[in-house]
Amino acid sequence: MSRGVSRQRYGYYDSVSPPAKADTERRQAWAEDLADRLDRPMSVLGVLFLLVVLGQAIATRTTMVTVLSVLSWSLWLVFVGEYALRLYVAPDRVTFLRRTWWQLVFLVVPFLRFLRLAGIGRLGRLGRVLSSTVRGSRSAGRLLSSRVAWLASLSAIVALAGSQLLYTFTTYPSYAAALHDAALATVTGETVAAEGPVARVIEVVLAVYSVVVFATLAASLGAYFLQNGQQERQRDRE
């Protein structure tokens, strides 16, 4: 990962005052080295976190529920520690918080599930699914270099997230049925069987996603074949 990408991703910037230049440069180098070292392992943990949250949605045995719960909170503590470490080494913490506020929100949202208010608790579960989805999709983007492979993994992540939301907030009798409808909606834009406002919102989001992603895929394939055709014509002229 390049230095410039590290700075942009982790919320660092290059404008420093002259008196603090030496200290800022030292912290900048430290921050960039930390970003490079944490990039791949945190990406792998992000994908693992997505799978654990999925497992929590469908686990029924008490032992499995307990194991997944402990694992998910352990991963959450790792993410909190990573964020706190990046905040500590950031040359400008205010700028860091301004650029990564959404990551902080996703770290705080899981605590809402402990509140006794039913609506807030459901919001916490929703935030947990969305947090794992965003983290998993970003992790896949960093781990995969191929655009097509990234789109395929992103579609799988969106389908899994949609199935979790349908199973948790609507009336599906089983997770398999929710996953079936979410996968079809993600790939083809099909309607889901569940009724209600939540199901309709998820249905629209997945339909829009299917149109955007597959239009992007078609454009990428078209550009690829067009480029190959131009290269072949150029070789023929030579």
Domains of the chain: 1-143 (1.20.120), 147-238 (1.10.287.70)
Question: Do residues 35 and 6 lie in contact, with contact meaning Cβ atoms separated by under 8 Å?
Answer: yes
Six-digit token string for 87: 């905040």
Shortest CA distance to 96 belongs to which of 10, 5, 3?
A: 10
* Greater model confidence, 123 or 61: 61
| Per-residue pLDDT tens digits for 20-67 | 566 667 777 777 777 778 878 888 888 888 888 888 878 888 898 899
Please state the pTM of the whole predicted model.
Answer: 0.69
Question: Where does the pLDDT of residue 13 fall: very low under 50, low under 70, confident under 90, or very high at 90 and above?
Answer: very low
Shortest CA distance to 182 belongs to which of 129, 108, 115?
A: 129
Q: Positive or negative, the Cα torsion across 109, 110, 116, 120?
A: positive
Six-digit token string for 216: 């992007």
Shortest CA distance to 190 belongs to which of 161, 199, 152?
A: 199
| Per-residue pLDDT tens digits for 174-208 | 888 999 999 999 988 889 999 889 899 999 999 99
Distance between CA 65 and CA 121 in Å, rounded?
A: 18
What pLDDT is attached to residue 206? 92
Question: Do residues 72 and 49 lie in contact, with contact meaning Cβ atoms separated by under 8 Å?
Answer: yes
